[in-house]
Amino acid sequence: MLYLKTDEEIGLLRESNLLVSKTLAELASLIRPGITTLYLDSIAEEYIRDNGGIPGFKGYGGFPATLCTSVNEEVVHGIPSSYALREGDIVSIDCGVILNGWYGDSAFTFAVGEIDESVRRLMDFTRESLEEGVKEAIAGNRIGDVSRAVQNRAESGGYSVVRELVGHGIGKRLHEPPEVPNYGRKGTGTKMEKGLVICIEPMINLGRKETIQMRDGWTIKTIDGKPSAHYEYAVAVDKGRADVLTTFKLIDEVLNNL
């Protein structure tokens, strides 16, 4: 069953997703060699609470932190720790909040200092694949149209698409129907209607698509140890266009001024 939102409810979802965007922008200025992922987590939790929100991930299914911090070959669900980021790392930060009863959820991959050009290209293609998916999130299209657009852009760069993990609907719950894979065929899957709000979140690997789960029960890594990138928007489906509730503009402004 799909939970279609009213314009008023989408307005509330926009607010919760803007708080996530602002939180990630707050972290953008702090990411540098020597900073621990646990420190980033503490800053994020403080910022969310100071702005009237509740960390959406903390305690969700038993997850112990505010952020998922996934470094290098970690795809998603990395647990913040005493690991100090190093020059040349990349860190994918996934953040969720609850504001006024509605969830926000977004992810962005950050470079730590100077990174290898091959990894920068992976990040660029992953972000572009998200933008391509968004273009298809319009009323009357199907989820497979979004999935195929993401896959086409990622694979055109020579990268592989993670299969085990998918995007999702979002609203009063963090994960609602439908699932939004990052691979698929045009014209297949759930038909999208105005008022559907989905999270599109490409997880794209430099090497093989296969992943493994670590013993902590959360962290997902690439099977070959090569880097993975992750970007995520919350998007409201509308007639003729997609309404992106997330903004990366705030993050880009910080990064461009460092």
Query: Above 90 in pLDDT, residue 76?
Result: yes
Q: From CA 47, how far away is CA 39, in angstroms rounded?
A: 12
Q: What is the amino acid identity at position 237? A: V
User: Which CATH number does the domain 7-256 belong to among 3.90.230.10, 3.40.640.10, 3.40.630.40, 3.30.1220.10?
Assistant: 3.90.230.10
pLDDT tens-digit series, residues 224-249? 999 999 999 999 999 999 999 999 99
pLDDT tens-digit series, residues 136-155? 999 999 999 999 999 999 99
Mean local confidence (pLDDT), 152-162: 98
User: In this structure, what token pair is assigned to residue 254?
Assistant: 């910080």
Q: What is the pLDDT confidence band of residue 258, given thresholds at 50, 70 and 90? A: confident
* Pair 202, 161: CB distance under 8 Å: yes
Query: Above 90 in pLDDT, residue 167?
Result: yes
Q: What is the pTM of this model?
A: 0.98
Query: Above 90 in pLDDT, residue 75?
Result: yes
To the nearest whole percent, how much of the chain has pLDDT over 70? 100
Instruction: Supply the angle between the helices 37-50 and 7-28 in degrees, to the nearest 10.
Output: 140
Q: What is the pLDDT confidence band of residue 184, given thresholds at 50, 70 and 90? A: very high
By DSSP bridging, strand 197-200 and strand 176-180 are unpaired
